[in-house]
Amino acid sequence: MWAAVAAVAALIAGAYALLQNTLFKRARCASNADMTGKTAIITGGNTGIGKATALELARRGARVILACRNKQRAEAAVHDIRRDSGSSAVVFMQLDLASLQSVRSFAETFLKTEPRLDLLINNAGLVADGRTEDGFGIEFGVNHLGHFLLTCLLLPRLKEGGASRVVTLSSLAHIWGRIDFDNLNSKRDLGTGKYSWQFFSAYCNSKLCNVLFTHELAKRLQGTNVTCYCVHPGVVRTELSRNCSLWQKVFIKPISKLFFLDAEEGAQTTLHCALQESIEPLSGRYFSCCAVQEVGAKARDDAVAKKLWEVSERLTGLA
């Protein structure tokens, strides 16, 4: 009996060690880059990975703009980051990625009031069902389309500075994604539905959009001073699943406590892509655990990436 118990315990310990060194692996940003005099925008910077990223950039001297929907929560985050970083150069600007008008208003205000932009971090994301103000599926609209429009509107300012970067948070979940252009054109979404598996599938599709967007953006930025990267931050304890059902939260919470990365750990690959020196030749690539990673064929399909860009231009009114 005791031999069986010992064998089970050894199996569990081995499985735990394997998961900690693969799916839940930790890494640290090794860059010592100083950000004094530089400006960074972080969408969704009031909580989770975004807030941890903002804190580190503020500590390094950057002017940090939290681009967030909820004013009260964002102002509370500004207070926390100023206190913990010792920097007063942390501000809130209103941005609702579920509204193309809000994205345009944010960009217009920023371009009028801020003289430079060195770093755009497309961090915000959600797992939910519903529609944006403009009638798009909420996950496609927020996770991809809002960030697509924001990036395009801010590119002129990024190009005016020195070596500027765009970092977009994707996810390992992109490997389960697919882009159905017929569905996108007819229903203005990449999946929806009231069941969790349905909007998780839509989330995977939106994360594939993030990888393809970065792939195509890098091509369009060739010959400029701007580079771009997409990131899998790891499996992190965040508020991303706040719209999931109660039973799922009850199931996920103990697992997340045991395995998942905290927000600071989850911010490390974002910081690597934002700060690490000499990664410019890797523009357009996908990073995880502070290192470039290969992606499957569908995540680097030139034709699909180009078509997604053109469709996104049309849907956002840029074309």
In three state form, how does the secondary structure of the chain look? Answer: CHHHHHHHHHHHHHHHHHHHCCCCCCCCCCCCCCCCCCEEEEECCCCHHHHHHHHHHHHCCCEEEEEECCHHHHHHHHHHHHHHHCCCCEEEEECCCCCHHHHHHHHHHHHHHCCCCCEEEECCCCCCCCECCCCCEHHHHHHHHHHHHHHHHHHHHHHHCCCEEEEEECCHHHHHCCCCHHHHHHHCCCCCCCCHHHHHHHHHHHHHHHHHHHHHHHHHCCCCCEEEEEEECCCECCCCCCCCCHHHHHHHHHHHHHHCECHHHHCHHHHHHHHCCCCHHHCCCEEECCEEECCCHHHHCHHHHHHHHHHHHHHHCCC
User: In Å, how far are 68, 111, 134, 189, 265 from 131, measured between CA atoms?
Assistant: 18, 28, 8, 9, 32
Catalytic residue among 16, 195, 203, 286, which? 203
Q: Verify whether residue 203 is a known catalytic residue.
A: yes
Check: CB of residue 305 under 8 Å from CB of residue 212: yes
Side-chain half-sphere exposure of 77, counting CA atoms within 13 A? 29
Residues recognised as catalytic: 203
